[in-house]
């Protein structure tokens, strides 16, 4: 533990210890208090990364550090069976975290109960194949409450988003949208089809809008995205002959044909 530091390592928090030893968080407080009473650890309230409030964190005392070192030394000379016969554990691993994982490999697909719960939340959010801005915020809040770092959250999201069993409806709409955009336009008939697919698939307004915006973003050039975003902010209500629009088109290299094509893309959005 770094003294006087603002953030304590997340590994020293209740969830960090729970993750490391594979024990549910609710079982830790009593054990930790006993260790504190034995002068093996200290307990204090500190901030950890990605949390808004202080949480309990643990650190070894000098006595606790010595006991841990002695325990590790005794474990390192254990003989373990391998494909090459019995060998000393120290010939395979020397780091305590590696030894713990080797001796007690996790049986769950998730590293900890906290990560497992967060993964279930992400899976629910991805059921329609779309993660909206509101759902993103909720997942970030849940990760903070569960003391799961952002990198782990992103890894969970990436794994679940790549699961082909999720989001069949959104993939169908995305395919239809990409087909409609093949000629650069979305006509009225294509618009009706896209809306009907969304409604019949049970995809709500926000999720559909998010999917459309992301798909459009992938189909447009950087200049077209900038122009489209500016005109969307104006609700396409400003006359294209207005000096501001002319200056914007000149700066971005947008011609009349591109303007007309981009203006049709707003039809894809549900009202």
- DSSP symbols for 68-97: HHHHHHHHHT-EEEETTEEEEGGGT--SHH
- 99 and 117 in a single domain? The answer is no
Tokens linked to 39:
């002068």
- 184 and 126 in a single domain? The answer is no
Burial of residue 126 (number of CB atoms within 10 Å: 0-12, 13-18, 19+): buried
Exposure of 244 in the CB half-sphere (CA atoms within 13 A): 8
Q: Considering the domain boundaries, does residue 167 fall inside one?
A: no
CA torsion 230-233-239-245 (nearest 10°) is: -20
Calculate the CA 217 to chain-centre distance. Answer: 21
- 33 and 97 in a single domain? The answer is no
Q: Considering the domain boundaries, does residue 166 fall inside one?
A: no
Cβ partners under 8 Å of residue 13, min gap 6:
48, 55, 56, 57, 58, 147
- 69 and 100 in a single domain? The answer is yes
Sign of the CA dihedral running 144, 149, 105, 86: negative
Q: Considering the domain boundaries, does residue 138 fall inside one?
A: yes
- 142 and 208 in a single domain? The answer is no
Q: Considering the domain boundaries, does residue 208 fall inside one?
A: yes
Kindly state the DSSP code that residue 13 receives in the 8-state scheme: B
Buried b vs exposed e over 96-117: b needs ≥16 C-beta within 10 Å?
eeebeeeeeeeeeebbbbbbee
- 187 and 260 in a single domain? The answer is yes
- 142 and 230 in a single domain? The answer is no
Helix (H, G, I), strand (E, B) or coil at 58: strand
Cβ partners under 8 Å of residue 225, min gap 6:
216, 217
- pLDDT value, residue 253: 87
Tell me how many domains the chain contains: 4
Buried b vs exposed e over 42-79: b needs ≥16 C-beta within 10 Å?
eeeebbbebbeeebbbbbbeeebeeeeeeeeeeebeee
Kindly state the DSSP code that residue 237 receives in the 8-state scheme: -
Domain around 190: 172-268
Cβ partners under 8 Å of residue 48, min gap 6:
7, 8, 9, 10, 12, 13, 16, 55, 57, 147
- 258 and 185 in a single domain? The answer is yes
- 184 and 264 in a single domain? The answer is yes
- 178 and 219 in a single domain? The answer is yes
- pLDDT value, residue 10: 78
Cβ partners under 8 Å of residue 230, min gap 6:
248
Strands (E), the chain: 7-8, 41-48, 55-60, 79-82, 85-88
- pLDDT value, residue 77: 92
Q: Are 160 and 123 in contact (CB under 8 A)?
A: yes
- 233 and 153 in a single domain? The answer is no
Buried b vs exposed e over 164-180: b needs ≥16 C-beta within 10 Å?
eebbebbeebbebbeeb
- pLDDT value, residue 164: 58
CATH assignment of the domain containing 34: 1.10.10
- 28 and 82 in a single domain? The answer is no
pTM, entire model: 0.41
The per-residue pLDDT string of the chain (271 residues; one tens digit each, 9 = 90 and over) reads 545 556 788 778 887 787 777 666 777 888 888 899 999 999 988 887 766 778 888 999 999 999 999 999 999 999 988 888 889 999 998 888 788 778 876 554 455 667 777 888 888 777 766 777 788 888 888 888 777 888 888 888 888 877 655 556 666 777 777 777 666 667 777 777 777 877 777 777 777 777 777 777 667 777 887 887 788 777 776 666 677 888 888 888 888 888 877 777 765 553 4
């Amino acid at each position: 533990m770094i003294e006087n530091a603002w953030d304590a390592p997340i590994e020293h928090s209740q969830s960090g210890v729970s993750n490391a030893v594979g024990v549910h968080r609710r079982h830790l407080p009593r054990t930790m208090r006993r260790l504190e009473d034995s002068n093996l650890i200290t307990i204090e309230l500190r901030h950890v990364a990605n949390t808004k409030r202080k949480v309990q964190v643990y650190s070894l005392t000098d006595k606790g550090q010595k006991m841990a070192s002695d325990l590790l030394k005794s474990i390192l000379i254990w003989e373990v069976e391998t494909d090459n016969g019995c060998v000393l554990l120290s010939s395979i691993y020397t780091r305590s975290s590696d030894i713990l994982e080797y001796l007690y490999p996790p049986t769950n697909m998730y590293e900890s109960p906290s990560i497992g719960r967060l993964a279930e939340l992400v899976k629910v959010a991805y059921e329609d194949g779309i993660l909206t801005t509101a759902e993103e915020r909720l997942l970030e809040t849940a990760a903070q409450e569960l003391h799961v770092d952002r990198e782990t959250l992103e890894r969970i999201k990436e794994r679940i988003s790549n699961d082909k069993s999720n989001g069949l409806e959104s993939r169908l709409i995305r395919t239809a949208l990409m087909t409609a955009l093949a000629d650069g336009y979305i006509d009225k008939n294509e618009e009706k089809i896209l809306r009907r697919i969304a409604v019949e698939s049970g995809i709500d307004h926000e999720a559909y809008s998010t999917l459309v915006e992301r798909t459009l973003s992938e189909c447009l050039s950087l200049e077209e995205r900038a122009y489209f975003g500016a005109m969307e902010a104006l609700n396409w209500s400003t006359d294209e002959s207005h000096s501001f629009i002319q200056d914007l088109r000149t700066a971005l290299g947008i011609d009349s044909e591109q303007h007309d094509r981009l203006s049709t893309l707003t039809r894809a959005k549900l009202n």
